[in-house]
Chain A
Amino acid sequence: MAAEKFETSLKKLEDAVSRLESGELSLDDSIRVFEEGIKHAAICSRKLGEAEKKVELLLKKRDGVLIREDFAGEDDM
């Protein structure tokens, strides 16, 4: 589930920040953790950007099949 992946990435980003901020890492480890953090920051940003404004209606046809249709009910949305 992508939402979970976002939360995982956010958690990993937080971990990377707090580990790096602790100042207890060697330079090598710092760079590794930093790269890890940057990677997860990118994932988070991408996932946040992915969610685009869109409103649809979920309609059920006679045969029970569900279809989506753009929602035009509120023009101001």
Chain B
Amino acid sequence: MVMTLFSEKKILSVSQLTSLVRSLLEENFEHLWVEGEISNLSTPSSGHLYFTLKDSGAALRCVMFRGSAKALRFRLADGMKIILRGRMTVYDQRGDYQLLVEYMEPQGVGALQLAYQQLKERLAREGLFAEERKRAIPILPRTIGIVTSPTGAAIHDIFKVLERRHAGLHLLIAPAKVQGEGAGAEVAAAIRDLSGYPQVDVIIVARGGGSMEDLWAFNEEVVARAIYDSTVPVISAIGHEVDFTIADFVADLRAPTPSAAAEMVAASKAQLLADCASLQRRLQQAMDQRLSAARVELHYRASALKSPELVIARMQQRVDDLSQRCAATIERTIGELRRQESDIRSRLRLSSPEQRIESDLERLATLKLRCQIAVKSSLERCGGTVAHLAATLDALSPLNVLARGYAVAELLPGGTVVKNLCQLQPGDCLRLRLSDGEAVCSVESLSPGRVDGLDSHSPRG
């Protein structure tokens, strides 16, 4: 056909040509896969997406109509490298050829993964995951709301755990499709129905394990918002332990599995029963203890009140004891004083003059005796001497001389012994003392001269 056009030199209108080109393009480029980088992205309110796909050497205008765009789970952004599927067409009015995009996915990571990442980041920025807004799970919920499929594995697991635990709990199940088209909206609606429903104190959002695709509803923004808006705390119990959904991040508490969520609420009740029983026991014990302490004290005080005699007797005993000890002390003191006194006395006695007087008297007597002896012997000695002297004296006595014929002439009156002739005058009266008496004579004459007769008359030999 193209050949024909050129050979016949047929003149075409712009519309005709454009229509021809479009037909050519649309017929020959029907199912294309193209990769490139997004630029000049435009997202008008119509919901269609416009952008340019480019690489280092070329650019291609692209459009994605609303119907296809709505199915996109991630958000486009300039600079994003994508793989897309579509067909070529021409925008008649402008004469631009463009790629009509039917499907696209990010290059490298999967579309779901990217969508998940993007929503997670956005909601985190918005504060939906903030730790400080997480609410405490009530410890004894009156009714537990459960959002899940009434025929699914999750509710079965929950029942199994609760039955094993004999946990008497009131469950209110809000059924929701948990997989496939519209699941997210149903889950969100169920959460909203339970939130604020009378008696419902906590909501568990549960689903058994599955692929990321299967769990996708719980990565949808509508679910995240419903959890965030809930007036009562929400526990997420989705998939297996390793699966983290957006719902898990928004929820007030994440249970790794539905069974784990059931364990949490059941254990909580069992624990509460045990705690209450223990507290009640401790309360009773503490009171018993307090009472018995009070009883002991009362008994003690009462017994003290009952018998003042005992107190008096005890005091009497004490008085006796004290007075005994007092007397003993006094006695001991007196004894001590006595000992001291006698000690002093004996010391006084030892130093008394009596003793000395006695000894002096003794000495005196001795001396006296010695004196007497001495005097006596002296007297005796003197006696001897006297006798001797008497004898001598006797020998020398004038009487003896008289006896030998000598006389003593004494001049009368007066009796003066006449020793010299000159004393005499003739006629003087003399008394002559003889050995056997006296004779008075008168002097006749005086004849001086020496009388030697006597000497011549003395024996000469």
User: What residues of chain A have their CB less than 8 Å away from a CB belonging to chain B?
Assistant: 1-4, 6-7, 10, 13-14, 16-17, 20-21, 23, 25, 27, 30-31, 34, 37-38, 41, 44-45, 47-48, 50-60, 66, 68, 71, 73-74, 76-77
Contacts and interface: CB of A to CB of B under 8 A. Distances in A.
B298 to A, nearest CB: 9
A34 B287 contact: yes
Given A10-B276, A52-B170, A56-B172, 12 more contacts: A30-B287, A34-B286, A34-B290, A37-B283, A41-B280, A48-B273, A51-B142, A57-B174, A58-B175, A71-B150, A71-B173, A74-B156
A44 B171 CA distance: 20
B405 to A, nearest CB: 156
B141 interface: yes
Given A37-B283, A77-B159, A3 B151 contact: no
Contact of A48 (B156, B175, B197, B272): B272
Given A30-B287, A53-B169, A17 B276 contact: no
B159 A6 contact: no
A58 B280 CA distance: 37
A74 B155 contact: yes
State the main secondary structure of chain B at its contact with A: helix
Interface of B: 138-142, 145, 150-151, 155-156, 159, 162-163, 167-175, 189-190, 193-194, 197, 201, 269, 272-273, 275-276, 279-280, 282-283, 286-287, 289-291, 293-294
16 contacts: A3-B141, A7-B140, A20-B283, A20-B290, A41-B276, A41-B283, A48-B269, A51-B140, A52-B170, A54-B171, A57-B173, A58-B193, A58-B194, A73-B155, A74-B155, A77-B159
Nearest to B272: A48
Nearest to A68: B172
B201 A76 contact: no
B172 A13 contact: no
A56 B170 CA distance: 8
A57 B421 CA distance: 209
Contacts of B189: 60
State the main secondary structure of chain A at its contact with B: helix
B150 A20 contact: no
B168 A53 contact: yes
Nearest to A49: B168
Given A21-B286, A34-B283, A3 B138 contact: yes
Contact of A58 (B159, B169, B173): B173
B171 A51 contact: no
B201 A27 contact: no
A13 to B, nearest CB: 5
Nearest to B282: A17
B272 A25 contact: no
A20 B167 CA distance: 32
A1 B175 CA distance: 26
Nearest to A19: B286
A7 B138 contact: yes
Contacts of A47: 140
Contacts of B141: 3, 51
